[in-house]
Structure 1
Amino acid sequence: MNGINVSARLLSGAATFLALAATGAPVLAQDAEEPATVAEEEAEGDAIIVTGIRGSILSSLNAKRESTSIVEVITAEDLGLLPDLSIADTLARLPGVTAQRVRGRSQQVSIRGLGPDFSLALLNGREVVSAGNNRGIEFDQFPSELIGTGIVYKTGDARLAAIGIAGAVDLQTIKPLDAKSQITVSGTYTINDNGNLNPDFGNDGYRFFGSYIDQNADGTIGWSLGATVQSIPTQIIQRELKTNDGQIARTDAGVIFPRDNPRQGVQSREFKRTSIAGSLQFEPTDSFALTIDSFYTDTTDSGIFRGTETPIAAWATQGGAQVDEVTGSGPFADSATYSNVFPILRTDTEGAESSIFAIGGNLEWKATDNLGFVVDYGYSTLDRDDVDFESYAGTGFQGTGPADTLTFNFAPDGQYSIDGLIDYTDPANVLLTDPQGWGQVGFLREPEINDELHQLRAEAYWEFDGGLIDRITAGWLYTDRTKDFDNNGTFIRAGTGFVGGELAIPSNLIIGQTNSGSIGQDIIAYDPAALLASGAYTLQRATDDTEWVVEEQIHNFYIQADIDGDLGPVPVRGNIGLRYVDTSQSSTGTLSGGLINNVSASFDNWLPSANLSFEVAEDTFIRLAYARTITRARLDQLAANQNLTFRPQICPDTNADQAPDSVAPMFNPPANVCFDLSGGNPSLQPYRSTSFDISFEHYISPGTAIIVAAFYKDLSDWVVGLGETADLSQQIVNAGFGNFLAANPQVAIGQFNGPINFSDGSIAGIEGTVRVNFGDVTDAL
C-alpha cells in the first residue's frame, strides 16, 4: 500500500483528531523457552533497564542465543507502537523469512524458500486453525500489538506441537506475571496517497490499541487484557499486460507488441479488524502454575475492482481486433493501436468476513524436586464467509455494439496508458451484457469455510541433579481437526429486464466513476450489491460446485532428553528426541457429480531429532541439528471430490443401465482397466524431509552478533499431479457399483489422475546475519 502513516502522538495538538498517547513503558518480551528479562547493565550499583526498540533487539538476540534450536525471534517493542499492520510484516524482517502480499497486505510467510504450505503456525505453543481453505494461516488475522514474542523454528524438537518441513512459527501472547503493571493506549491515523480510486471506498483509516496488565500484591496472580481496532485502506492501480509466448506478436522489423487480453483498472479495499487477547496466570507456589489464555479476532475485508479487459487478440469476437499501427524501434513497442475492440467493463466485488476464537490452558505441577507433570489443552475455531461477485458490461451483446479503437502507450517502466474513442463513464455508452459471448453476464461465488481444532497434551518429566542430561520428558499429544469448504458458485444470467441480452444500468444505482490515474481509462461506477439484490439477474447454481470435509486425528508419542553440561572442555546444550506420529484422515466430498464420497486412510511416521549447541569459545557457538519432519498434504488435495467413470470397451454395459455388467478379456492393468478416477486424493501421504543444519554464531556484545547458517533438506514423497494405478474399491462402492466389484474383484485396480506422492528432491541454502548495536560503535548512541 502506498500510504502515509501519521502517529497519533504527532497529531495530539490537532483539533480535528483525538490523539491517544501511550502511557507506561511496556517490557513484554518472552524467550523461546522461558521468560526473558530485558537487557540489564549494572552501573555503580544501579540497574539500567533498556526498553523500547533497543530493548526489543537485545531481548530477541538473547533469546536466539539461549535457544537450544536454530530459531529466529522477535519480541515486542513498546506495545501499541509497532508500525506493522500485522505480525507478518514483523516476521518478514527475520533472515530466511519472507512475507507474501495478498490484496495489498502481508498475509502469509515462507521459510527458507519453501511456501506457506510447508510450515505450520502455533498460537502459544498450540496448533491453530487457518482462515484459508488450507493449513497455512493468514497472519494478517493477528495484530502485532497483541503478540509478545514470535519464534520462527527452523529446526524443531520432539516436544514441539507441530512443525512442517520448512519450519514453524509460534506466536506467543503476553504472560502477565512476566511483565510490569501497566496501562497502554495508542492510536494511528492513516492516509493512502493514491486517493479515492473508486467512489464507494475512502482513502483514510485508523488504528487504536489498548492494554491493561497487572498482578496481585504477592505476585502470584497476573492478568492481562489487550484490544485493538483498525481500518486499513488500500488503493491500487492495476495493469496486467500478458507478454508470454502466444500472447505477443512482432512486426516485420521484430518489434514486440501485445496480442491478447490485457486487464487494467483500479482496486479499492478496506480491511477492518477487531482483536482481543487475554491471559490469566496463577502461580501460588514454585511447584504449581496455571495459565489460561484466549484470543479472538474478527475481520472484514471488503473491496472492489473496476476496470476493463481489452480483447486485442485476433481470436476475439466479431473477427478479432485489428492492428492499425505499431510504433517504436524495439525491442518492445512504444505504442500500438488496435481497432474493432469490444472491451469488457468489469465490476468485481471481493469480500471476506471471518472470525477466529482460540482458548487454551496449561497446568504444570512439580510433584517433587525432580518429577513434574504438564497438561495442556487448546481449542480454536474459525468461521469464514466470502463473496466474489463479477458483473460485466460493454457497448453491446457479444460484440454487436459500437467497437472502440484503443492506443496503448508503453512507458519504459511498464506503466502503460490507454487512449480510446468511447467515453465509458457515460451511461448512454454502457450496457449490462455479455460483451464476448461467455454465456453469462456475471458470476457469483460465496465460499464458506469452517475449521475446528482440538489439541491435548499430557507429559511427565524428570530433572536430574547433575551430569550431561539435564531433563528427560515423555509425553502424548493428540490433535483432532475438522475443516469443511463449500464453494457455492452461481452463474449470473440475463434476467427478465434484459432485451436482446442487454440492460441499461439503472440510474439510481450509478454512484460516479473511477479514477484510473495514469491508465487514463475511467469507467462508470455502479453499486453491484444493490444491482444483485434488485432482481435484475437470473441466478443458476453451478452444478460442478466444490464441497468437501476433511477430518484428521493425530496421535503423537514422544520422548526427549535435554542436554546441559560439558563434553571435555566444551560446554554443550541441546536435546535429542524421538517422536512417533500416527495419523488417521478421512474426507467426504462428491463423487461423479452428486453421490456422497467418503474415503479414509492412515499412516505413521518415526521422527528422530537432535539439536546441539557447542560454545567453542567465549560467546562463540556452533550449532548442529538433524531432524526427520513431515508436512501433511494440502487440504484441498485431500478433498474427496472425485469423478469415477468406466471404460465400456473394457467393462461393457450390455443392458444400457449406465453400469458395467461384465469384464472383457482385454482387461489387463495397468494399460487396460475398467475404472478411471480423477480429482482429489484423500489417501495422500505427507511430504517428508530429512534435514541437516549447521550454524556459526559469534556474539560481540549483547546487541551485536555475526551469524552464518547453512541447511540441507532431502525431500521425498513430493506431491505432483500425475496418473497412476490405484485401488479404487472405496470409490467403486460409493458410486453404486459394489455388486459388480464383489463379483469381479480384479476391477478394483484402476487408473487415478490427480495429486499423488511421486517425486523426490532437495533444497539447500546459506543464511548470513550481521546485527550491529551502534551504541558499541559510538557513545552518542
Structure 2
Amino acid sequence: MFQYKPSLLTLALVAAGASMYSYGALAAEDAANQKAEDESIEVIQVTGIRRSLQESQATKMSNSSVVEAISAEDIGKLPDVSIAESLARLPGVAAQRLDGRANVISIRGLGPDFTTATLNGREQASVNDNRGVEFDQYPSELLNQVVVYKTPDATLMAQSIGGTVDMRTISPLAHGEQTIAISARGELNDLGALNSDSTDKGYRASVSYVDQFLDDTLGFAFGYARMQSPNQEERWQAWGYPELDYDSSKPNVLGGAKPFVRSSELERDGFLVVLEYQPNDQFHSLLDVYYSQFNDQQQLRGIEIPGQWGSGWANDGITAVSDDNGLVTQGIINNAGVIVRNDVNTRDADALSIGWNNKYIVDDNWSLEADIALSKANRTDIGMESYSGTGRGNGNGATDTLGFAYQGDGRYQFTHDLNYADPIVIKLGGAFSWGDPVGPSSQDGFINKPEIDDELKSMRLAAEYVLDSGAVRSVQFGVNYTEREKSKLDQGFYLTLKDYPEMLTVPAKYLLDPTSLAFFGMGDMLSYDSLAFYNDGNYIETNADSVDLSRATNSWLVNEEVTTGFVKANLETEVFGLPLSGNIGLQAVHTDQSSDGTAATVNALGKVEKTPVTAGDSYLEWLPSMNLAFEVAEDQVVRLAAARTLTRARMDKMNANVNFSYTETPSAGNPNWSGGGGNPQLRPWLARQYDISYENYFADQGYFSVALFYKDLENFVFDQHSDFNFGELFPEKSGNPIGDVTLPQNGNGGYVRGVEATVQLDFGYFVPEMEGFGMYLSGTYNESEVKETADSEPTTLPGLSEKTFNATVYYENSGFQARISSRYRSDFLGEVTKISLQRENVNIKAETVVDAQVGYDFSESGIEALYGLSVLFQVNNLTNEPFISYTGDDQRFVRDYQNYGRNYMLGVNYKF
C-alpha cells in the first residue's frame, strides 16, 4: 500500500492508542514492532475534533483502496450523534432521513440496496426487508472508526457496487492503557409534546471500560450505550392531485389528505464486549460480541380528508375559488365527511453479532488466519389504524364545510365548522366503506404485524506468503463461506368493533387530552389510547390473507449459500522511478439460492387459495480487482482502480411467491393464466467500475483530493413480463398452462459516473494566529443513464442525487470546542413506507441539514480536580429543515411535508 511518511504527531496518535484494529489489514508483525516504537516516540497530546480528522486522514492515506474514514474523537466519542449522520458527511455519501434521523445511505449515487455493511469486516444481517443496514441501529458510542470502501480488493468479502461500510470496534491491546469513560446527555425537542401521551424529553448515556492484563497479553473492552430519544413531527400528507372534475382541461386539485402529528420515543440499548489475546509475537486472537435492542413507539393522530377523489361518496365535490398555473389554490369541500385517525406504530428489533478471529505466524514467510462469525437480526412491527367519525359508512353522519388554501410550500390550511374533539360527535367505527370483512362497512381499523428474521453465518480460512524479493511483496489467498436465511411473515387483520354495526362512544378510561391539529387549521381532535383499546379485546379480527390476494403472497423465505475463493498479490515496486504500491486480485463467487413461497388465487367463492412453491438457482461469477497507487511526489499520490463488482438482488424480490388469476375462456389472444410475483432465480447486479484520484497530503491535518469514477452497470432489475408454467402447479386445469406473469428480472444496464472533491484545512498551518480554526469541505456530482431496453427512456436510479455538498467549520483550542456542519443533497428518488407498511419509491426534494455543537474540556483548565471532565451542547437540525416528497415533476404536488423541529442536547463526558 502507499507508504506515506508519518510525522511525530501521527506516530504519537498511534502510540496513544488512537489507531483502530482492522482484521483484514493489520499484519501481526505490526504489534511486535509497536513496543519499540512506543519507547522512542515523543507523545504529543492531540484531542477532540483535530484528533478525529488526523486519524481519518491517516487511514485514507495508508489504505490501498479508495476509502473515506471517520474516527472517534476519543474513546466512545464519534463526532456525531449517530453513525448514519457521520457517514453522511463523507465525500460521495448521502443519507436519507426517517422520522427526523439519518437512517440509510447512498454511496456515489447508488441507493441503500447497493451498500453493504460490515462490523469488523464481517457482513451484517439487517432488520429491514432487504439487505441494506439501518445505521441508526448501531450506537456511535460503541464504535471507534468507520471506513467506507469505494473500491474493493480481493480480500474484501462483502463488496458491493456502491461501496462497503466497515464499522470497527476498539482493540484493547492497541489502546494500550486502562480507560474508563462515561457520558450522559439530556435531550429536548422544541416542538413540544404534540400528543398528551408523549414526551419531548429524553437522554443518552454510555459507559466504556478498556484494560490490559497478564503483562499486556490479554486485553478487555466493554461498552454499554442507552438512548431514549424523543421525536415529534407535524406531517402534511396528500393523497394526490387529480384534474378537477376529471377533465384534463381543468386545473389539478387536492385529491385528498391525511395530515397528522406524530410523537415517538426511540429506546435503544447497545452492548459491546471485546476480548483480545496475544501471548507472543506469533499468535493473535480476538473475540468481539455486539448486541443492540431497538424499540420505537409512535403515536400518530390526525384527520383524513377525502378531497376531489371523495366526490360522490364522502362529499359533494370541490368548488374551486381560485387557481394558479394549473393548481387550485383555494377551494371549498361541500358536505364533507372525514375520518378521525388514532394510529400506533411500534417496532421491536434486535441485532446480535459474534466474531472470533485468529492469526498465527508460522515463520518469516507464512501466516495463517481463521475467522468465524454469526450475525442475527429480527424485527416485529405493529402498524395499527383506528377509525372514528360521525357515522358508519359512506354518506352517513354529520358533515362539514371545509375551506382550504394553498400555503405556497406544498401544504394547505383548512377551515372547519364541526368540533372534532367532541366524543359525543366523534365515535369509534368506520366512517367510510373501506372494507366489508364481516358485513357492510365493517372495517373499523386495521392492524399489520410483519415479522423479519435474518441469520448470517460465515467462516473464512486464509493464508499469506511473504516473498523475499521482487515487485510482489506478498500473496494472500483463501476461501470464505456464508450461509444466510431470511424470512418475512406478513400478517394483517381487519378490525371490526364487537358492537358492530353500532358506533361506539370512546370509553372514558381510554380517553386522552385532545390533540391539536392547528398546524393545518383543523383545531383539536378526539384522542384515545387505541392500542390499549385493541389489547383489551374490543375488536373482531379477520385475517386479510383469506380475502386479499396480494396479502397472501407477502410472506417468504430466502436461503443463500455463497462460497468465495480469493487470491490477492500485494505489490511494492517502482515504475519509471515512481514508487508504486497496491494489489491485484481475483474472487470466484459461487452462489446457491432458493426461496419458499406461495402461489395464490381467488376461487369462485371469493376466498384465497394457497399452494406452496419452492424454486431457486445457482451461478458462478468471477470478480477481478486492481488498486494501484503512484507516489508522484512526496505525500502526493495518484490512485488507479478497476474492478468487477457484485451486489446481490433485493431479498423481497427473490421470493418464490406468485399471485394469479385463471380464466377458463379468455378473450381472443389472451392467456388462461396471468399474475405477478417474485423471482427466486434473480441474478445479482453486476458492474465494471473504474476510478482515478489524486491526493495531496500537505499536513497532518490537511489534504486535498479529487476523484473521477465510472460504473458500467452490466444489468439492472426491472419488472418485466414473463412466461410461467402454471400446469406444474395445477395440472387439473384446462387450457394453455403457460401464462403471462410480471416478475422482477435482470434487464439492460447503463452507467453511473461522477466526480468528487475534498479539502481539509487547518488554518493554523498557514497562519499561526488562526491556530485551532479549520474546515472540512467536500462535494460530489453524479449522473446516470440506465434503460430497460435500448429504445426506452432512462430510468431514475433510487438514491441518486445529482449533487451533494458537505461543509464543517470548527474551532478547537485551549479546551474550547465549537463546530457547525452542513450537508446538502439535491433531489432524489427515495424509498418510503406506504399503506400496510409496504415500501414504495417517491421523489424527495433537495434538503440542507445543519447541526452545531459547542463544548469545553476541563482537562485544559488547569483545575486538577476536573481533569477528564468535558461538557457539550449540541443542536440537531438547527435550521429546522423539513423532509419533503412530491409526486410527478411538479414540486407543488407535495406528497409529504414533514416538520421535525430541532433537537437540543446538553451533556457531560468523563474519562479516567
TM-score for both structures, normalised by structure 1: 0.88
Q: Which residue matches 2:278? A: 283
Deviation at 1:720, TM superposition (A): 0.7
CA distance in 2, matches of 1:328, 1:73: 51
Number of the residue aligned with 1:341: 336
Secondary structure at the residue paired with 1:301?
A: strand
SS of aligned partner of 1:772: strand
C-alpha distance in 1, partners of 2:324/2:138?
51
Distance 1:673 1:425, change over 3 A: closer
Structure 2 equivalent of residue 99 of structure 1: 95
> Cα offset for 1:379?
0.3
Conserved? CA contact 2:306–2:314, under 8 Å? no
Q: Which runs of 5+ in 1 are unaligned?
A: 1-24, 653-665
Instruction: Give the match's secondary structure for 1:48.
Output: coil
Match of 2:613 in 1: 597
Counterpart code for 2:650: R
Please tell me the residue identity of whatever aligns with 2:168.
Answer: Q
Q: Confirm whether residue 776 of structure 1 aligns to residue 765 of structure 2.
A: yes
Aligned partner (choices 432, 439, 442) of residue 436 of structure 1:
432
1:197-240, CA deviations, whole angstroms, 9 ceiling, x for partnerless residues? 01111000000010000112522111100000110100000112
Structure 2 equivalent of residue 569 of structure 1: 577
The answer as to whether partners of 1:85 and 1:140 remain within 8 angstroms in 2 is no
SS of residue paired to 1:560: strand
Question: Which whole-Å CA distance do the structure 1 matches of 2:124 and 2:495 have between them?
Answer: 37
Matched residue type, 2:191: N
Where does 1:611-622 land on structure 2 (aligned, <5 Å)?
A: 611-622=627-638
**Partner SS, residue 273 of structure 1:** strand
Structure 2 residue aligned with 1:377:
372
TM alignment of 1:131-170, pairs within 5 A? 131-170=127-166
Q: Give the aligned partner of residue 899 of structure 2.
A: none
Query: Cα distance, 1:578 vs. partner?
Result: 0.6
Name the residue aligned to 2:25: 33
Residues 713, 347 of structure 1: alpha-carbon distance in 2 compared, 3 angstrom cutoff: same
1:447 positional shift: 0.7
Contact 1:248–1:257 (8 Å) recurs in 2: no
The Cα shift of 1:647 comes to 5.8
1:425 is matched with 421
Amino acid at match of 2:579: P
* Matched residue SS, 1:428: coil
Aligned to 1:235: 232
Match of 1:326 among 305, 308, 321: 321
Alignment-derived partner of residue 785 in structure 2: none
Deviation at 1:78, TM superposition (A): 2.1
Question: How much identity, in percent, do the aligned residues show?
Answer: 35
Amino acid at match of 2:529: D
Aligned positions of 1:345-424 closer than 5 A: 345-397=340-392, 398-424=394-420
Shift, 1:245, TM fit:
5.1
Conserved in 2, the CA contact under 8 Å of 1:197 and 1:268? yes
Greater RCO, 1 or 2 (C-alpha within 8 Å, sep 6+): 2
- TM-score, scaled relative to structure 2: 0.75
Q: Provide the residue aligned with 2:305 in structure 1.
A: 310
SS at match of 2:715: strand
Per the alignment, residue 765 of structure 1 pairs with 754
Shift of 1:492: 1.2
Deviations 1:290-322 (Å, cap 9, x if unpaired)? 010010000101102100111121543547344
Counterpart-to-counterpart distance in 2, 1:619 and 1:612: 15
* 1:224-303 equivalences in 2 (<5 Å): 224-241=221-238, 244=241, 246=243, 258-303=253-298
What's the CA shift for 1:364? 0.5
**8 A contact 2:717–2:746 mirrored in 1:** yes
The one-letter code sitting in structure 2 at the alignment partner of 1:689 is: A
RMSD: 2.8
Deviations along 1:403-452, one digit per CA (max 9) or x if unpaired, are 11112233333443322101111111101222221021111111111111
Does the alignment pair 1:514 with 2:511?
Answer: no
| Aligned amino acid, residue 576 of structure 1 | I
- Distance in 1 (CA, whole Å) between partners of 2:654 and 2:519 is 45
Q: Distance in 2 between matches of 1:331 and 1:649?
A: 46
Report the equivalent of 2:643.
627
One-letter amino acid of the counterpart of residue 213, structure 2: N
Are the equivalent residues in 2 in contact too, given 1:679–1:753 (CA < 8 A)? yes
| Contact 1:130–1:451 under 8 Å retained in 2 | yes
The amino acid across from 1:362 in the alignment is N
Whole-Å Cα distance in 1 between the matches of residues 81 and 444 of structure 2?
Answer: 37
Judge conservation of contact 2:723–2:741 (CA < 8 Å) in 1: yes
Q: How far did 1:724 drift?
A: 2.3
1:464 is matched with 467
Any conservation in 1 of the 2:78–2:144 contact (CA below 8 Å)?
no
Superposed displacement of residue 524, structure 1: 1.1
Question: Does the CA contact (< 8 Å) of 2:241 and 2:252 recur in 1?
Answer: no
Number of corresponding residues: 723
Partners in 2 of 1:466 and 1:268 — Cα distance?
65
Q: Which of 740, 750, 756 is the aligned partner of 1:751? A: 740
Q: 1:85 Cα shift? A: 3.4
Alignment of 1:556 with 2:564, yes or no, is yes
Contiguous gaps of at least 5 residues in structure 2: 1-15, 436-442, 546-550, 601-608, 773-912
1:199 to 189, 196, 199: 196
The letter of the residue matching 1:694 is I
Equivalent residue of 1:56, what SS?
A: helix
Cα 1:229/1:248, change in 2 over 3 Å? farther
Q: Distance in 2 between matches of 1:503 and 1:296?
A: 45
From 718, 721, 724, the equivalent of 2:719 is 721
| TM-superposition CA deviations, 1:2-37 (whole Å, max 9, x none) | xxxxxxxxxxxxxxxxxxxxxxx9835456833999
Task: Return closer, same or farther for 1:538/1:690 CA change in 2, 3 Å cut-off.
Answer: same
Deviation at 1:327, TM superposition (A): 4.6
Deviation (angstroms), 1:83: 5.9
Q: Tell me, yes or no, if the aligned pair for 1:29 and 1:76 is still in contact at 8 Å.
A: no
Relative to 1, partners in 2 of residues 1:677 and 1:507: Cα closer, same or farther, differing over 3 Å? same
| Counterpart Cα distance in 1 of 2:281 and 2:41 | 29
Cα shift readout 1:618-647 (whole Å, capped 9, x = no counterpart): 111111111111111111101111135556
Task: Tell me how far apart the structure 2 counterparts of residues 249 and 77 of structure 1 sit (CA, whole Å).
Answer: 59
SS, match of residue 722 in structure 1: strand
* TM-fit CA distance, 1:466: 2.8
Q: In the alignment, which of 203, 206, 211 is matched to residue 208 of structure 2?
A: 211
Where 1:57 maps in the other structure, the secondary structure is helix
Pick which of 302-311 and 431-440 moved more: 431-440
Cα distance in structure 2, aligned partners of 1:344 and 1:690 = 52
- Partner residue, 1:707: 705
- The answer to whether the aligner puts 1:86 opposite 2:75 as a matched pair is no
Partner of 2:535: 533
- Post-superposition offset of 1:287: 1.2
Cα–Cα, structure 1 residues 223 and 393, in superposed 2: closer, same or farther, change >3 Å? same
Q: Which amino acid aligns with 2:228?
A: S
Distance in 2 (CA, whole Å) between partners of 1:647 and 1:249 is 32
Match of 2:167 in 1: 171
| TM-aligned CA distance change 1:75 to 1:633, over 3 Å | same
Alignment of 1:473-552 (within 5 A): 473-495=476-498, 497-500=499-502, 502-521=503-522, 522-543=524-545, 544-545=551-552, 546-552=554-560
- In structure 2, what is the Cα distance between the partners aligned to 1:632 and 1:50? 42
Q: Is the 8 A contact 1:434 1:441 kept in 2?
A: yes
